Amino acid sequence: MGAYPSLSIGALSKATGTTVVTIRWYERVGVLPTPARTPGNYRAYGKAHLDRLSFIRRARDLGFSLDEVRDLLRLSDDKDQSCEAVDQVARQHLAEVTRKIADLKALRRELQDLIGQCRHGTFADCRIVQALSPRQSRR
Amino acid sequence: MGAYPSLSIGALSKATGTTVVTIRWYERVGVLPTPARTPGNYRAYGKAHLDRLSFIRRARDLGFSLDEVRDLLRLSDDKDQSCEAVDQVARQHLAEVTRKIADLKALRRELQDLIGQCRHGTFADCRIVQALSPRQSRR
DNA sequence: CTTGACCCTATAGCGGCTACAGGGTCCATA
DNA sequence: TATGGACCCTGTAGCCGCTATAGGGTCAAG
Protein backbone atom coordinates (compact mmCIF):
# COMPACT_ATOMS: atom_id res chain seq x y z
CA MET A 1 0.00 0.00 0.00
CA GLY A 2 2.78 2.45 -0.83
CA ALA A 3 2.35 5.64 -2.82
CA TYR A 4 0.88 5.09 -6.28
CA PRO A 5 3.82 5.08 -8.69
CA SER A 6 3.67 7.90 -11.19
CA LEU A 7 3.32 7.07 -14.86
CA SER A 8 5.22 8.53 -17.76
CA ILE A 9 3.16 9.62 -20.73
CA GLY A 10 4.33 6.51 -22.59
CA ALA A 11 3.18 4.25 -19.79
CA LEU A 12 -0.18 5.99 -19.64
CA SER A 13 -0.39 5.63 -23.38
CA LYS A 14 0.09 1.88 -23.19
CA ALA A 15 -2.24 1.54 -20.21
CA THR A 16 -5.14 3.22 -22.02
CA GLY A 17 -4.48 2.54 -25.67
CA THR A 18 -4.24 6.26 -26.39
CA THR A 19 -1.36 7.67 -28.39
CA VAL A 20 1.08 9.95 -26.64
CA VAL A 21 0.16 12.77 -28.98
CA THR A 22 -3.53 12.40 -28.25
CA ILE A 23 -2.89 12.50 -24.49
CA ARG A 24 -1.06 15.79 -24.88
CA TRP A 25 -3.93 16.98 -27.06
CA TYR A 26 -6.48 16.15 -24.34
CA GLU A 27 -4.42 18.18 -21.89
CA ARG A 28 -4.25 21.08 -24.31
CA VAL A 29 -8.00 21.24 -24.86
CA GLY A 30 -8.71 20.87 -21.16
CA VAL A 31 -10.33 17.47 -20.75
CA LEU A 32 -7.32 15.97 -18.98
CA PRO A 33 -5.78 18.04 -16.15
CA THR A 34 -2.15 19.10 -16.36
CA PRO A 35 0.00 16.57 -14.52
CA ALA A 36 3.00 17.14 -12.26
CA ARG A 37 6.43 17.32 -13.89
CA THR A 38 9.67 15.51 -13.09
CA PRO A 39 12.90 17.50 -12.67
CA GLY A 40 13.61 16.74 -16.33
CA ASN A 41 10.24 18.26 -17.32
CA TYR A 42 8.58 14.94 -18.10
CA ARG A 43 4.89 14.61 -17.33
CA ALA A 44 4.17 12.42 -14.28
CA TYR A 45 0.64 11.05 -14.08
CA GLY A 46 -1.16 9.61 -11.07
CA LYS A 47 -4.07 7.20 -10.68
CA ALA A 48 -6.61 10.01 -11.02
CA HIS A 49 -5.27 10.74 -14.49
CA LEU A 50 -5.44 7.10 -15.45
CA ASP A 51 -9.08 6.91 -14.33
CA ARG A 52 -9.99 10.14 -16.05
CA LEU A 53 -8.33 9.17 -19.32
CA SER A 54 -10.02 5.77 -19.24
CA PHE A 55 -13.34 7.54 -18.82
CA ILE A 56 -12.58 9.82 -21.74
CA ARG A 57 -11.56 6.94 -23.99
CA ARG A 58 -14.62 4.91 -23.17
CA ALA A 59 -16.90 7.86 -23.82
CA ARG A 60 -15.12 8.61 -27.10
CA ASP A 61 -15.49 4.96 -28.12
CA LEU A 62 -19.20 5.36 -27.50
CA GLY A 63 -19.22 8.27 -29.89
CA PHE A 64 -19.52 11.15 -27.45
CA SER A 65 -17.90 14.35 -28.71
CA LEU A 66 -15.19 15.98 -26.63
CA ASP A 67 -17.72 18.65 -25.68
CA GLU A 68 -20.06 15.99 -24.39
CA VAL A 69 -17.15 14.36 -22.58
CA ARG A 70 -16.43 17.69 -20.94
CA ASP A 71 -20.08 17.87 -19.84
CA LEU A 72 -20.01 14.35 -18.47
CA LEU A 73 -16.81 15.03 -16.55
CA ARG A 74 -18.14 18.28 -15.13
CA LEU A 75 -21.34 16.55 -14.07
CA SER A 76 -19.42 13.72 -12.47
CA ASP A 77 -17.51 16.23 -10.37
CA ASP A 78 -20.79 17.21 -8.62
CA LYS A 79 -21.02 13.95 -6.76
CA ASP A 80 -24.12 14.72 -4.71
CA GLN A 81 -26.64 15.40 -7.39
CA SER A 82 -28.69 12.73 -9.06
CA CYS A 83 -27.40 11.41 -12.33
CA GLU A 84 -30.40 12.68 -14.24
CA ALA A 85 -28.24 15.16 -16.14
CA VAL A 86 -25.84 12.42 -17.16
CA ASP A 87 -28.74 10.28 -18.27
CA GLN A 88 -29.98 13.23 -20.30
CA VAL A 89 -26.66 13.60 -22.15
CA ALA A 90 -26.58 9.89 -22.88
CA ARG A 91 -30.15 9.83 -24.15
CA GLN A 92 -29.54 12.76 -26.42
CA HIS A 93 -26.49 11.06 -27.84
CA LEU A 94 -28.45 7.86 -28.32
CA ALA A 95 -31.09 9.77 -30.27
CA GLU A 96 -28.40 11.20 -32.49
CA VAL A 97 -26.89 7.78 -33.14
CA THR A 98 -30.31 6.39 -34.00
CA ARG A 99 -30.86 9.22 -36.45
CA LYS A 100 -27.50 8.59 -38.07
CA ILE A 101 -28.30 4.91 -38.51
CA ALA A 102 -31.57 5.78 -40.23
CA ASP A 103 -29.79 8.23 -42.53
CA LEU A 104 -27.14 5.69 -43.46
CA LYS A 105 -29.76 3.04 -44.12
CA ALA A 106 -31.63 5.31 -46.52
CA LEU A 107 -28.35 6.06 -48.21
CA ARG A 108 -27.46 2.39 -48.44
CA ARG A 109 -30.75 1.60 -50.11
CA GLU A 110 -30.11 4.27 -52.71
CA LEU A 111 -26.64 2.95 -53.38
CA GLN A 112 -27.94 -0.58 -53.70
CA ASP A 113 -30.57 0.51 -56.19
CA LEU A 114 -27.90 2.30 -58.17
CA ILE A 115 -25.48 -0.60 -58.21
CA GLY A 116 -28.18 -3.13 -58.92
CA GLN A 117 -29.01 -1.35 -62.15
CA CYS A 118 -25.47 -1.43 -63.53
CA ARG A 119 -25.14 -3.88 -66.41
CA HIS A 120 -21.51 -3.16 -67.24
CA GLY A 121 -22.29 -1.96 -70.72
CA THR A 122 -20.66 1.01 -72.34
CA PHE A 123 -20.54 4.20 -70.40
CA ALA A 124 -23.44 5.89 -72.13
CA ASP A 125 -25.73 3.12 -70.90
CA CYS A 126 -24.42 3.15 -67.36
CA ARG A 127 -27.24 3.56 -64.90
CA ILE A 128 -24.93 4.78 -62.19
CA VAL A 129 -23.70 7.68 -64.25
CA GLN A 130 -27.22 8.48 -65.38
CA ALA A 131 -28.63 8.30 -61.89
CA LEU A 132 -25.93 10.51 -60.48
CA SER A 133 -26.12 13.21 -63.08
CA PRO A 134 -29.58 14.72 -63.43
CA ARG A 135 -30.63 15.88 -60.00
CA GLN A 136 -34.05 17.18 -61.01
CA SER A 137 -35.19 13.86 -62.49
CA ARG A 138 -35.16 12.25 -59.07
CA ARG A 139 -37.73 14.31 -57.23
CA MET B 1 -32.19 27.38 -79.63
CA GLY B 2 -30.17 30.48 -78.67
CA ALA B 3 -26.98 30.40 -76.68
CA TYR B 4 -27.38 28.99 -73.20
CA PRO B 5 -27.62 31.97 -70.88
CA SER B 6 -24.75 32.12 -68.43
CA LEU B 7 -25.45 31.84 -64.73
CA SER B 8 -24.10 33.97 -61.94
CA ILE B 9 -22.74 32.13 -58.95
CA GLY B 10 -25.87 33.07 -57.02
CA ALA B 11 -28.12 31.63 -59.73
CA LEU B 12 -26.09 28.44 -59.80
CA SER B 13 -26.32 28.33 -56.02
CA LYS B 14 -30.12 28.49 -56.14
CA ALA B 15 -30.32 26.03 -59.01
CA THR B 16 -28.35 23.36 -57.16
CA GLY B 17 -28.98 24.10 -53.50
CA THR B 18 -25.28 24.69 -52.93
CA THR B 19 -24.06 27.74 -51.07
CA VAL B 20 -22.05 30.31 -52.99
CA VAL B 21 -19.10 29.72 -50.69
CA THR B 22 -19.18 25.99 -51.28
CA ILE B 23 -19.24 26.49 -55.05
CA ARG B 24 -16.12 28.62 -54.84
CA TRP B 25 -14.61 25.93 -52.58
CA TYR B 26 -15.30 23.23 -55.20
CA GLU B 27 -13.52 25.37 -57.77
CA ARG B 28 -10.59 25.89 -55.44
CA VAL B 29 -10.10 22.17 -54.79
CA GLY B 30 -10.50 21.33 -58.45
CA VAL B 31 -13.76 19.39 -58.69
CA LEU B 32 -15.55 22.19 -60.51
CA PRO B 33 -13.71 23.80 -63.47
CA THR B 34 -12.96 27.51 -63.42
CA PRO B 35 -15.73 29.36 -65.25
CA ALA B 36 -15.47 32.30 -67.63
CA ARG B 37 -15.55 35.79 -66.16
CA THR B 38 -17.64 38.82 -67.02
CA PRO B 39 -15.95 42.19 -67.64
CA GLY B 40 -16.69 42.97 -63.97
CA ASN B 41 -14.86 39.79 -62.91
CA TYR B 42 -18.00 37.89 -61.96
CA ARG B 43 -18.01 34.14 -62.54
CA ALA B 44 -20.20 33.14 -65.52
CA TYR B 45 -21.29 29.50 -65.54
CA GLY B 46 -22.65 27.46 -68.43
CA LYS B 47 -24.81 24.36 -68.66
CA ALA B 48 -21.79 22.08 -68.30
CA HIS B 49 -21.07 23.59 -64.92
CA LEU B 50 -24.65 23.15 -63.83
CA ASP B 51 -24.56 19.48 -64.82
CA ARG B 52 -21.22 18.92 -63.17
CA LEU B 53 -22.23 20.61 -59.93
CA SER B 54 -25.48 18.62 -59.86
CA PHE B 55 -23.43 15.45 -60.21
CA ILE B 56 -21.15 16.51 -57.38
CA ARG B 57 -24.03 17.37 -55.08
CA ARG B 58 -25.81 14.13 -55.73
CA ALA B 59 -22.66 12.12 -55.10
CA ARG B 60 -21.97 14.07 -51.89
CA ASP B 61 -25.53 13.44 -50.74
CA LEU B 62 -24.84 9.75 -51.27
CA GLY B 63 -21.87 10.07 -48.96
CA PHE B 64 -19.04 9.93 -51.49
CA SER B 65 -15.95 11.87 -50.41
CA LEU B 66 -14.65 14.62 -52.63
CA ASP B 67 -11.78 12.31 -53.57
CA GLU B 68 -14.28 9.69 -54.70
CA VAL B 69 -16.20 12.37 -56.56
CA ARG B 70 -13.00 13.33 -58.34
CA ASP B 71 -12.53 9.68 -59.31
CA LEU B 72 -16.09 9.39 -60.58
CA LEU B 73 -15.76 12.56 -62.61
CA ARG B 74 -12.44 11.49 -64.09
CA LEU B 75 -13.92 8.11 -64.98
CA SER B 76 -16.94 9.70 -66.56
CA ASP B 77 -14.68 11.76 -68.80
CA ASP B 78 -13.46 8.54 -70.44
CA LYS B 79 -16.73 7.96 -72.20
CA ASP B 80 -15.77 4.87 -74.17
CA GLN B 81 -14.77 2.52 -71.42
CA SER B 82 -17.20 0.32 -69.60
CA CYS B 83 -18.55 1.59 -66.35
CA GLU B 84 -16.97 -1.21 -64.38
CA ALA B 85 -14.63 1.22 -62.63
CA VAL B 86 -17.54 3.40 -61.61
CA ASP B 87 -19.38 0.37 -60.34
CA GLN B 88 -16.28 -0.53 -58.36
CA VAL B 89 -16.13 2.85 -56.63
CA ALA B 90 -19.82 2.64 -55.81
CA ARG B 91 -19.52 -0.89 -54.41
CA GLN B 92 -16.60 0.06 -52.25
CA HIS B 93 -18.51 3.00 -50.88
CA LEU B 94 -21.51 0.79 -50.22
CA ALA B 95 -19.33 -1.60 -48.24
CA GLU B 96 -18.07 1.28 -46.17
CA VAL B 97 -21.58 2.52 -45.47
CA THR B 98 -22.64 -0.98 -44.45
CA ARG B 99 -19.70 -1.20 -42.08
CA LYS B 100 -20.57 2.16 -40.55
CA ILE B 101 -24.14 1.04 -39.96
CA ALA B 102 -22.95 -2.06 -38.16
CA ASP B 103 -20.57 0.00 -36.02
CA LEU B 104 -23.29 2.44 -35.07
CA LYS B 105 -25.70 -0.36 -34.23
CA ALA B 106 -23.21 -1.95 -31.86
CA LEU B 107 -22.67 1.42 -30.32
CA ARG B 108 -26.40 2.01 -29.97
CA ARG B 109 -26.86 -1.26 -28.17
CA GLU B 110 -24.15 -0.32 -25.69
CA LEU B 111 -25.73 3.05 -25.08
CA GLN B 112 -29.14 1.48 -24.60
CA ASP B 113 -27.74 -0.97 -22.06
CA LEU B 114 -26.13 1.89 -20.23
CA ILE B 115 -29.22 4.07 -20.16
CA GLY B 116 -31.50 1.18 -19.28
CA GLN B 117 -29.53 0.62 -16.11
CA CYS B 118 -29.88 4.17 -14.83
CA ARG B 119 -32.25 4.36 -11.88
CA HIS B 120 -31.84 8.06 -11.14
CA GLY B 121 -30.45 7.47 -7.67
CA THR B 122 -27.57 9.40 -6.23
CA PHE B 123 -24.48 9.74 -8.28
CA ALA B 124 -22.48 7.07 -6.51
CA ASP B 125 -25.06 4.50 -7.63
CA CYS B 126 -25.27 5.71 -11.19
CA ARG B 127 -24.70 2.88 -13.59
CA ILE B 128 -23.77 5.19 -16.41
CA VAL B 129 -20.91 6.74 -14.50
CA GLN B 130 -19.76 3.33 -13.29
CA ALA B 131 -19.94 1.79 -16.72
CA LEU B 132 -18.03 4.61 -18.29
CA SER B 133 -15.22 4.73 -15.79
CA PRO B 134 -13.45 1.39 -15.44
CA ARG B 135 -12.28 0.36 -18.84
CA GLN B 136 -10.65 -2.90 -17.82
CA SER B 137 -13.83 -4.30 -16.27
CA ARG B 138 -15.51 -4.59 -19.65
CA ARG B 139 -13.73 -7.42 -21.47
C1' DC C 1 30.91 8.67 -23.78
C1' DT C 2 27.89 7.15 -27.02
C1' DT C 3 23.74 5.00 -28.42
C1' DG C 4 18.95 4.68 -28.54
C1' DA C 5 14.54 4.94 -26.34
C1' DC C 6 11.94 8.07 -24.61
C1' DC C 7 10.34 12.86 -23.81
C1' DC C 8 9.62 18.10 -24.83
C1' DT C 9 7.51 22.29 -27.63
C1' DA C 10 5.73 24.42 -31.66
C1' DT C 11 3.70 24.41 -36.04
C1' DA C 12 1.17 22.70 -39.99
C1' DG C 13 -2.03 19.61 -42.11
C1' DC C 14 -6.34 16.58 -42.90
C1' DG C 15 -11.77 17.01 -44.93
C1' DG C 16 -15.33 19.82 -46.12
C1' DC C 17 -16.72 23.33 -45.47
C1' DT C 18 -18.25 28.13 -42.78
C1' DA C 19 -17.51 32.79 -41.25
C1' DC C 20 -15.55 36.75 -41.34
C1' DA C 21 -13.16 41.39 -43.19
C1' DG C 22 -12.69 44.67 -46.53
C1' DG C 23 -13.58 45.78 -50.61
C1' DG C 24 -15.77 46.09 -55.98
C1' DT C 25 -20.00 45.87 -59.40
C1' DC C 26 -24.45 46.50 -61.05
C1' DC C 27 -28.99 48.22 -61.49
C1' DA C 28 -33.10 50.65 -60.03
C1' DT C 29 -34.90 54.56 -58.14
C1' DA C 30 -34.87 59.67 -56.48
C1' DT D 1 -26.19 62.12 -61.22
C1' DA D 2 -26.15 60.33 -56.75
C1' DT D 3 -27.35 56.68 -53.67
C1' DG D 4 -28.89 52.50 -51.79
C1' DG D 5 -28.94 47.72 -51.65
C1' DA D 6 -28.24 43.27 -53.64
C1' DC D 7 -24.92 40.89 -55.35
C1' DC D 8 -20.04 39.68 -56.26
C1' DC D 9 -14.72 39.47 -55.40
C1' DT D 10 -10.28 37.84 -52.68
C1' DG D 11 -8.02 36.35 -48.62
C1' DT D 12 -7.67 34.60 -44.12
C1' DA D 13 -9.03 32.13 -40.00
C1' DG D 14 -11.85 28.81 -37.67
C1' DC D 15 -14.40 24.27 -36.80
C1' DC D 16 -13.39 18.90 -34.88
C1' DG D 17 -10.25 15.52 -33.27
C1' DC D 18 -6.64 14.40 -34.00
C1' DT D 19 -1.88 13.22 -36.85
C1' DA D 20 2.62 14.40 -38.62
C1' DT D 21 6.87 16.76 -38.76
C1' DA D 22 10.88 19.45 -37.21
C1' DG D 23 14.22 20.30 -33.99
C1' DG D 24 15.56 19.66 -29.93
C1' DG D 25 16.32 17.71 -24.47
C1' DT D 26 16.65 13.57 -20.87
C1' DC D 27 17.90 9.29 -19.16
C1' DA D 28 19.71 4.65 -18.45
C1' DA D 29 22.51 0.90 -20.26
C1' DG D 30 26.76 -0.69 -22.27
Query: Coil, strand, or helix at residue A37?
Result: strand
Nearest Cα residue to A48 out of A2, A7, A10, A1 = A7
Distance from CA of A80 to the nearest CA of B (A): 6
How far apart are alpha carbons B76 and B62 in whole angstroms?
17
pLDDT at A1 exceeding the cut of 60: no
Nearest Cα residue to B58 out of B78, B39, B76 = B76
Give me the torsion for CA of A19, A22, A27, A30, rounded to 10°.
Answer: -140
Any atom of strand C under 7 A from CB of A24? Answer: yes
Q: Which CATH class is domain B1-62?
A: mainly alpha
Percent of chain A with pLDDT over 70: 80
Distance from CA of B41 to the nearest CA of A (A): 29
pLDDT number for residue B78: 73
Average pLDDT over residues A54-81: 88
pLDDT number for residue B49: 95
pLDDT number for residue B138: 33
Nearest Cα residue to B78 out of A38, A110, A122, A9 = A122
Residue A114, C-beta contacts closer than 8 angstroms, at least 6 positions apart: A127, A128, A131, A132, B62, B90
Query: Coil, strand, or helix at residue A81?
Result: coil
How far apart are alpha carbons B118 and B61 in whole angstroms?
37
* E strand map for chain A: 36-37, 43-44
Read off the pLDDT of residues B33-50 as tens digits, 9 standing for 90 and up.
Answer: 999 999 999 999 999 999
- A36-37 vs B36-37, strand pairing mode: unpaired
Higher pLDDT, A135 or A46: A46
Q: Is A121 close to B83, i.e. CB distance below 8 A? A: yes
Q: Is the dihedral of CA A55, A58, A60, A65 positive or negative?
A: negative
Rounded to 5°, the CA angle B126-B121-A82 comes to 85
How far apart are alpha carbons B66 and A134 in whole angstroms?
18
Task: Of A16-20, A54-58, A80-84, A105-109, give the lowest mean pLDDT range.
Answer: A80-84
| Mean per-residue pLDDT of chain A | 85
pLDDT number for residue B137: 33
pLDDT number for residue A84: 82
pLDDT number for residue A5: 82
pLDDT number for residue B121: 61
Q: Measured in angstroms, what separates residue A38's CA from nucleotide D27's C1'?
A: 12
ipTM over 0.90? The verdict is no
CATH 1.10.1740.10: does it fit domain A1-63? no
pLDDT band at A6; cut points 50, 70, 90: very high
pLDDT band at A136; cut points 50, 70, 90: very low
Q: Measured in angstroms, what separates residue A102's CA from nucleotide D8's C1'?
A: 39
Contact A94, B112 (CB under 8 A): yes
Q: Is A111 close to B90, i.e. CB distance below 8 A? A: yes
pLDDT number for residue B77: 75
Those residues of chain B that have pLDDT short of 50 are 134-139
How far apart are alpha carbons B93 and B63 in whole angstroms?
8
Read off the pLDDT of residues A80-105 as tens digits, 9 standing for 90 and up.
Answer: 666 788 888 999 999 999 999 999 99
pLDDT number for residue A137: 32
Query: Coil, strand, or helix at residue A77?
Result: helix
How far apart are alpha carbons B28 and B23 in whole angstroms?
9
Per-domain residue ranges for chain A? 1-63, 99-139
pLDDT at A111 exceeding the cut of 50: yes
